[in-house]
A and B are shown apart, each in its own frame.
Chain A
Amino acid sequence: MELTAPTRRRLFARFPLSPLLLTCAITGLGVWNLASASRNVQGSLWLSQLLWFAGGLAAVLLFALWDYRHLAWLAYPAYAVVILLLLAVAVHGRTIMGARRWLDVGPVHLQPSELAKLAVLLVLARHFHESPPPRRGLRLHQLLLPFALILLPVALVVKQPDLGTALIVAAVGLTLCVFAGIRRTTLVILALAGVTAAGGAWQHFLKGYQKRRIETFLNPAGDSLGAGYHAAQSIIAVGSGRVTGKGWGQGTQTQLSFLPEQHTDFIFSVWAEEHGFIACALLVLLYLALVLWALWVAGVARDRFGSYLAAGVAGLVAWHVFINIGMVSGLLPIVGVTLPLMSYGGSSLLTLLLAVGLVMNVQMRRFG
């Protein structure tokens, strides 16, 4: 279906400016923060992030012109492409710091695991749209296909190994399933199975360093210079920011390299150290606004497909923020999960911008 000129004009009248500004605000703060975090590491990281941001923003605007409903048709092909990319990574991927996560595409290193988040979201939205769950919720056999769709990319990502991303993919997928509705008895059975599976995963799938992180989390005093060192330094950084922070570029933990991965996974420690509790609360509230907006869109979407998409993005952002800030502040064990729009990384930024664009797209077409 082609859009006519008047509808397009109406479309722009409905363009959701506030969520766009919200996204720009968070990303802007992210670039500013990155400029401090990378001052004495690699000087121009923030510039590169800014370029990715500009590119991502352009892509989002272009994407807004195109009806999201076409995605329902594209869901399975897109899923297939992402799985192929993940397989390609497994075979040809670039290895950085012991993990094979990156695929060289021309000048950029692509991280297909980031795209997997969107692909799983799309394919589940389409599935639940086409075969709506019964009133009392999904039964076990009805969950087999969705679970298979989730597990395939999760398994490939775990193999890379990238526990954090795999966790997010699984969490977003499961959130969508729960959102679609699962029978109570089935939920109980799944919970029991989940606990058993977790035990099995501990035994067989987790790498030594991943186990150590979890052990350290459970007993942080046991090992303050080994695996616990990063967690301890991050907590010191966060706590030392106190109410108003040490000032931009003045964080000693950040500037003297006490923080691990300070421009990616631990970017929030930098923010917390240099700007303090008030700025942290502000940032958390901005994220909350973003999530609530996506949930609102899910409630007003013109079709179930759009609702599932918006709810899935809300879940994606919420899980990212919760796990990342949780681990940085010592609430959760350390897993490699980025902070949406703040962490350095093109693939991650692009994925999040696309996700936000998706929700905007759904919002714009809610009356169509």
Chain B
Amino acid sequence: MVETLPERTSARDFWPRLALFGALVGAAFLLLLGRLYRLQVTQGKEYYERSVNNFVKDQKIPADRGLLLDRRGTVLADSRPSYDLYLTPYFCGRKCDEVVGRLSAYLGLDGETQARVRERLAASRGLSRFQPFLVEVDIGRDAVDVFEARKTELDGVDLVPTPHRAYRLGTLAGHLLGYLSEVGPAELSALQAAGKDYHEGDYIGRRGVERAFEPYLRGVDGAERVAVDAKGRRLPGRTDLIPAADRIRLPRPGDNVVLSIDARLQKVAEESFPGKAGAVVALDPQTGFVLALVSHPELDGNLLTGRVTRAQLAALAADPYKPELFRPLQGQYHPGSTFKTVTALAGLRYHVITPASHTVCTGGYTLGRRRWRCWKDQGHGLVDLHRAIVHSCDTFFYWVGDRLGLDRIAAEARLLGLGNPTGIGLDTESPGVIPDEAWHDRVTPGGYQRGFALNAAIGQGDVNVTPLQLALAYAAVGNGGTLWRPQVVRRIEDPEGKTIQLFEPRIHAKLSIDPKDLAVVVDGLTGVVNEPGGTAYPHRLPDVVVAGKTGTAAVVAYGADLHAKLDYWRNDHGWFVAFAPAQDPQIAVAVLNEHAGHGGSAAAPTAMAVIQAFFEEKKQDQADPEPLPPPARPSHDDQAPPAPPGKKEVGAMPPRPPRRKAGAWALGKTGGRGAARVRRATPARRSASPGDPPLARTRLADRREPRWS
């Protein structure tokens, strides 16, 4: 093979361009060095910090939410250790479908949850595959055991210990306490814009005390700094990357809220309430502090805070008994005969009547061509104010109302706090309606007519009040004219139990009512319970002199067929409002039993049971002032033993003193069914039923993202 090798030539020709070449390369490399100098020397510190931020992640240590305690220190709500179930798509890989299937089989996930999990799995791509997401919140003890046993078959499944709110006494005071749920996306941005320290997945108080005292209860979350890799996976072996001093920031638990509620009394009130729906309010007429606040049916805070399905929420919303309605504050009802106290005070104030004024009840009152009927068809005969109150004679009050006119009745009602929010500071209160002439001119077709005053005088027509308003008005009557702002919280304690804020009684108004007028009315109210023939006489208490008034509020106006059998929804509301002892009241109670008929039989027994329990407990507390155990905090550590001895007792109800059997209403029979029947002066108009405030709902789709950020 012939090959010719290149012959020798001089490379001198190349020298200038080689020099240029070298210079260009030198310049280019100098540019590189300049860039490196800028990055590493000039901006080195900044980039160093960014590289640290890259691998340091703060993992939240949730703060314990403050306890809710009753006035005697009984724990109503605390946090218990629980487990949330998470799934990381990356770690179950191709077997995710099988894992979900097994989870459903072992832990019984419902169809809705399964669908959501599969949807989430299908949607996760790229880095989000490393993001654990919540499958099920608060799985039970049994499920934890099952998980431990089957761990190896459940790739990518994690149990994360999370404190969970526990309402120790179940549904007791469910509305008053409220519940928690996760912050929604829109709410979250609003909170963060307001500078509040909320993050995705945080719980926030909904309704009741949980909501009103959220800033105190919440506490401040702590954080654990951990090293993570580029995919966000925790690196337990690399704690050396984080200086020891920075590793952990302990959470600050929330403050405890001590309610003015007495859990025992609340329980008596709930258990002695016989109806399907209604309200019980008990408060201290000398301070305005609420002792018991029942809205029946109660909300289940444990259900609503935890795993609540769409179906359960839908059932709650569709329930005809409206469990979402916080009746003492939000329910508006005709006060019926309980309003006669107001009419009586107005009559005395404007000298339309004196205690000695009397009229004859012939079973009704005629105005123009219409007749307003008394509940007692055969009439009460000669009645004065005292007799009219004791026997709840409608005719007498039609007469007073006709002579007063609507405006003066309305003025007296407003003076007593009716028709205005009480300022209790929980949820959204309904104001109620106290119509006056201008109101009718504005609202009623045809404008004001004289007959409206007659309807209003016996608490019918368009008069609407809330049970709380009525309880406060009666408390004011009983205590000599102090209208309180109701409060449910006595004090706030720090986590160690030291009081940091004490709430003093707050006066809403000192009423300018002549004490003599008050004395006359109180005398009448005492007669209702304590004089034979009084509408609540069968339910009187042996040891305590109770003053009160029954009410039977017609729900539907109907014609002459007074005694027809009515179905539930058309039946009257039963009221009983009282205070005791009559001369120096220590407790005021309002009971409303929806669609239960006469107030004497449907509401008075509950009120009496509450009053009886109140005085018995008072006696017992004085004889044996039992020291209260300090509130214990459950540990969040999943390794912690189940419960140190003695801890359980904290949440349990203290033994209740023996209570008189609450069967009194079965025995007694108050003056037959009969109530103020109103033939309306104008076509029947119902006052608008209070709008149901929507229950703050956790949408499952928006459920918590994991707390890894």
Once A72-B5, A129-B6, A280-B40 are accepted as A-B contacts, the answer to whether A299 and B29 lie under 8 Å apart by CB is: no
Kindly identify, within residues 205 to 236 of chain A, every residue whose CB is under 8 Å from any CB belonging to chain B. 233, 235-236
A93 within 8 A of B: no
B9 within 8 A of A: yes
B50 within 8 A of A: yes
Report the stretch among A82-90, A95-103, A147-155, A322-330 that lies at the interface.
A322-330
Complex contact B6–A299 (CB within 8 A): no
Contact with A along B20-40 (1 / 0, CB 8 A): 011001101101110111011
A243 within 8 A of B: yes
Complex contact B21–A242 (CB within 8 A): no
The interface centre, meaning the residue of B29, B228, B241 with most chain A CB atoms within 10 A of its CB, is B29
Complex contact A72–B14 (CB within 8 A): no
Contact with A along B40-80 (1 / 0, CB 8 A): 11011111101110110000000000000000000000000
The interface centre, meaning the residue of B37, B44, B45 with most chain A CB atoms within 10 A of its CB, is B44
Chain B residue nearest in CB terms to A307 = B11
Chain B residue nearest in CB terms to A300 = B11
Kindly state the separation between the CA atoms of A179 and B3 in the bound complex, as whole angstroms.
Answer: 27
Majority SS of interface residues in chain A?
helix
Kindly state the separation between the CA atoms of A69 and B6 in the bound complex, as whole angstroms.
Answer: 6
Contact with B along A180-224 (1 / 0, CB 8 A): 010000000000000000000000000000000000000000000
B residues less than 8 Å from A326 (CB atoms): 32, 35
Complex contact B241–A252 (CB within 8 A): yes
Chain A residue nearest in CB terms to B26 = A288
Once A238-B39, A239-B47, A318-B25 are accepted as A-B contacts, the answer to whether A307 and B55 lie under 8 Å apart by CB is: no
The interface centre, meaning the residue of A241, A272, A273, A287 with most chain B CB atoms within 10 A of its CB, is A241
Complex contact B43–A239 (CB within 8 A): yes
Complex contact A331–B35 (CB within 8 A): yes
Kindly state the separation between the CA atoms of A272 and B54 in the bound complex, as whole angstroms.
Answer: 17
Kindly state the separation between the CA atoms of A258 and B133 in the bound complex, as whole angstroms.
Answer: 23
Complex contact A295–B41 (CB within 8 A): no
B residues less than 8 Å from A306 (CB atoms): 6, 11
Among A256, A276, A280, A311, point to the contact of B21 (Cβ < 8 A).
A311
Chain A residue nearest in CB terms to B52 = A252
Kindly identify, within residues 289 to 339 of chain A, every residue whose CB is under 8 Å from any CB belonging to chain B. 291-292, 295-296, 298-307, 311, 314-315, 318, 321-322, 325-326, 329-331
Report the interface size class on chain A.
35 or more
Among A236, A241, A331, point to the contact of B32 (Cβ < 8 A).
A331
Once A304-B6, A304-B9 are accepted as A-B contacts, the answer to whether A236 and B51 lie under 8 Å apart by CB is: yes
Among B17, B31, B43, B229, point to the contact of A331 (Cβ < 8 A).
B31
Complex contact A299–B4 (CB within 8 A): no
Kindly state the separation between the CA atoms of A108 and B485 in the bound complex, as whole angstroms.
Answer: 87
Once A129-B6, A287-B29, A322-B28 are accepted as A-B contacts, the answer to whether A240 and B36 lie under 8 Å apart by CB is: no
The interface centre, meaning the residue of A129, A239, A331 with most chain B CB atoms within 10 A of its CB, is A239
Kindly state the separation between the CA atoms of A287 and B36 in the bound complex, as whole angstroms.
Answer: 15
A residues less than 8 Å from B5 (CB atoms): 1, 67, 69-70, 72-73
Once A303-B8, A314-B25 are accepted as A-B contacts, the answer to whether A257 and B229 lie under 8 Å apart by CB is: yes
A248 within 8 A of B: no
Once A72-B5, A298-B14, A303-B9 are accepted as A-B contacts, the answer to whether A258 and B26 lie under 8 Å apart by CB is: no
B residues less than 8 Å from A314 (CB atoms): 21, 25
Kindly state the separation between the CA atoms of A277 and B32 in the bound complex, as whole angstroms.
Answer: 11
A237 within 8 A of B: yes
Nearest CB on A from B506, distance (A):
54
A143 within 8 A of B: no
Nearest CB on B from A332, distance (A):
10
Nearest CB on A from B525, distance (A):
73
Chain B residue nearest in CB terms to A280 = B36
A25 within 8 A of B: no
Among B21, B32, B40, B231, point to the contact of A322 (Cβ < 8 A).
B32
Complex contact B40–A239 (CB within 8 A): yes
Complex contact A298–B18 (CB within 8 A): yes
Chain B residue nearest in CB terms to A302 = B8
Nearest CB on B from A34, distance (A):
19
A111 within 8 A of B: no
A residues less than 8 Å from B3 (CB atoms): 70, 73
Majority SS of interface residues in chain B?
helix
A284 within 8 A of B: yes
A residues less than 8 Å from B39 (CB atoms): 235, 238-239, 329-330
Nearest CB on B from A98, distance (A):
16
A residues less than 8 Å from B4 (CB atoms): 73
A residues less than 8 Å from B26 (CB atoms): 288, 292
Complex contact A242–B48 (CB within 8 A): yes
Once A70-B3, A179-B21, A243-B44 are accepted as A-B contacts, the answer to whether A281 and B55 lie under 8 Å apart by CB is: no
Complex contact B229–A277 (CB within 8 A): no
Complex contact A307–B14 (CB within 8 A): yes
Kindly identify, within residues 506 to 565 of chain B, every residue whose CB is under 8 Å from any CB belonging to chain A. none
Kindly state the separation between the CA atoms of A276 and B51 in the bound complex, as whole angstroms.
Answer: 14
Complex contact B54–A239 (CB within 8 A): no
Kindly state the separation between the CA atoms of A113 and B14 in the bound complex, as whole angstroms.
Answer: 29
A residues less than 8 Å from B228 (CB atoms): 256
Among A276, A303, A321, point to the contact of B7 (Cβ < 8 A).
A303
Complex contact B48–A240 (CB within 8 A): yes
Kindly state the separation between the CA atoms of A93 and B25 in the bound complex, as whole angstroms.
Answer: 35
Complex contact B40–A241 (CB within 8 A): yes
Chain A residue nearest in CB terms to B25 = A318
Once A280-B40, A301-B11, A329-B35 are accepted as A-B contacts, the answer to whether A321 and B29 lie under 8 Å apart by CB is: yes
Complex contact B18–A295 (CB within 8 A): yes
B residues less than 8 Å from A240 (CB atoms): 44, 47-48, 50-51
Kindly state the separation between the CA atoms of A345 and B15 in the bound complex, as whole angstroms.
Answer: 35
A347 within 8 A of B: no
B230 within 8 A of A: yes
Complex contact B28–A318 (CB within 8 A): yes
Complex contact B54–A253 (CB within 8 A): yes
B684 within 8 A of A: no
B235 within 8 A of A: yes
Complex contact B44–A242 (CB within 8 A): yes
Kindly state the separation between the CA atoms of A296 and B26 in the bound complex, as whole angstroms.
Answer: 14
Complex contact A236–B6 (CB within 8 A): no
B453 within 8 A of A: no
B residues less than 8 Å from A304 (CB atoms): 6, 9, 11
B residues less than 8 Å from A129 (CB atoms): 6
Task: Supply 22 A–B pairs (Cβ within 8 Å), ascending by A.
Answer: A72-B5, A73-B3, A181-B17, A236-B54, A238-B39, A239-B47, A240-B50, A242-B45, A243-B40, A253-B54, A256-B54, A277-B36, A281-B33, A284-B36, A295-B25, A298-B18, A301-B11, A302-B9, A303-B7, A304-B9, A315-B21, A329-B32
- Give me 4 other A-B pairs in contact (C-beta within 8 A), A236-B54, A239-B50, A318-B29 excluded: A69-B5, A70-B3, A239-B40, A277-B44
